[in-house]
Amino acid sequence: MYAEVIDEADVQFARRVDRQALAKMTREMSRVSNVRALWALGTQWLVIVAAFAAVVWVDRWWAWPIAALVIATRQHAMLALMHEAAHYHFLSNRKVGDVVADFLCAFPLNMTTAGYRHQHMEHHRHVNTAKDPYWASMQQDPSWHFPRTPMRAAAVFMGDALGLYAPNHLKVVLPWTYWGRLLGGAKPKVSAAEHVRYVIYVAALLTTLVMTGAWLHWLLLWVLPTTTVMMAFFRMRALGEHPLDAEIKGDETRETRDVKGTLLENFFVAPLNCNYHLTHHAFPSVPFYNLPVMHEELDKAGMLEDGVNRFDTYLGKHNSLVKYLTRKPATVAEALPAATPTPTPASGVRMPLHS
């Protein structure tokens, strides 16, 4: 069962890469492994439970911020798994995948898989254009506008960590939430099955909190990180995925990036291979655990170029995202190679990448 996402990257990718040669590998890499997906999900929750338990066991004030930081990284990973479900390659059974993703990924973060999916598919179809909901919302929010000086860039991420930009982030995620869809009119309309699932989830959460009395733990170790530290990680990852340029260049393959990242960087900023974003756009049917293989194929095809659509690290000294974000605007044209122009496809024409 493969995701069917067709976007401008498919057209550009087809012009530069032998699609026939990669067709067999793409199909093989698009096979869903329930074991690997559930192992990834179980691992995140194991770390979360361990962090909560450590706070209770240690019973010292300094354990709280450490646990909150660790939990924020795993909440970020849960977003990545919800993303997998949005593409219908979390579990081999799509309906079961949506149920599991809602209960164990989306609902705990006050989101819904179907709500996220609706906007995310629009992002894939119209990436980096006015019809891309992510691009459009970021254009209206000055905090997303880079490059900045190192001090001003650090101030933005510190603002995220302190929750100063929480209202801005809420505007973006509101259409993904249950209440945003129910009362705000966001699409798609909440289904009967989702109503039932959400009621069950809220009842289970309230029952657990009442029986354990862990209200403070839930607020400080779960709710607070989602609106503060996790959003700082999310911003760094999102800034690495697409350059937010007001002028649309029309070549997604050079306006979407892969960042290799170090083990520590990826633990915090890009869990579960989120760093292979160009690879994901080129092969949207491929689950997260197979993206490194397809990344290598893009590299072999000569699709990746340092400083344009490939960075080695997020925070390093050489070919890093942070160097790109804090570059001097006046030297951008000189520092970055010019993109090779590609003809614009005929209106309405879409070429599928996958068979």
Is pLDDT above 80 for 74? yes
The per-residue DSSP string of 54-66 comes to HHHHH--TTHHHH
Q: Would the pLDDT of 247 be above 80?
A: no
The answer, as to whether pTM is greater than 0.95, is: no
Q: How confident is the model at residue 253 (pLDDT cuts 50, 70, 90)?
A: confident
Mean pLDDT of 230-254: 85
- Which tokens is 145 given? 């506008």
Say what the pLDDT of residue 45 is: 98
pLDDT digits (tens, 9 = 90+) for 281-321: 999 999 999 999 999 999 998 889 999 999 999 999 999 99
Following DSSP, what letter does each residue of 328-343 receive, concatenated?
A: -GGGHHHHSPPPPP-P
CA distance 331 to 5: 36
pLDDT at 332 over 80: no
| Angle, vertex CA 196, rays to CA 194 and CA 202, nearest 5 | 100
Weakest-pLDDT range from 31-35, 165-169, 219-223, 341-345: 341-345
**Res 22: pLDDT:** 84
Predicted pLDDT of residue 8: 52
Separation between Cα atoms, residue 68 and residue 105, nearest integer Å: 17
- State the sign of the Cα–Cα–Cα–Cα dihedral 193, 198, 203, 208: positive
List the beta strands (DSSP E) in the chain: 258-259, 310-311
Q: Is the pLDDT assigned to residue 238 strictly greater than 50?
A: yes
The three-class DSSP label of residue 311 is: strand
Residue with tokens 């095809």: 301
Q: Tell me which of 250 and 353 has the higher pLDDT.
A: 250
Confidence of residue 334 (pLDDT cuts 50, 70, 90): very low
Q: What is the pLDDT of residues 35-58, one digit of tens each?
A: 999 999 999 999 999 999 999 999
Tens-digit pLDDT profile for residues 175-220: 999 999 999 999 999 999 999 999 999 999 999 999 999 999 999 9
3-class secondary structure, 128: coil
Contact 254, 138 (CB under 8 A): no
Q: In the numeric block, which tokens belong to residue 132?
A: 């891309």
Q: Which of 97, 40, 118, 96 is nearest to 274 (CA)?
A: 40
Contact 309, 257 (CB under 8 A): yes
Which residue ranges make up each domain of the chain?
Answer: 8-335
Q: Evaluate if residue 252 carries a pLDDT over 70.
A: yes
- pLDDT of res. 2: 33
244 pLDDT band, cuts 50/70/90, is: confident
Q: Kindly compute the dihedral angle of the four CA atoms of residues 246, 251, 257, 258, in this order, to the nearest 10 degrees.
A: 180
With residue 193 as reference, give the H or E element that holds it: helix 192-212
In DSSP notation, 218-283 reads HIIIIIHHHHTHHHHHHHHHHHHHS---SS--S-GGGSS-EE---HHHHHHTSGGGTTBHHHHHH-
Kindly state the average pLDDT of the residues 95-123: 97
- Residue with the bigger pLDDT between 355 and 205: it is 205
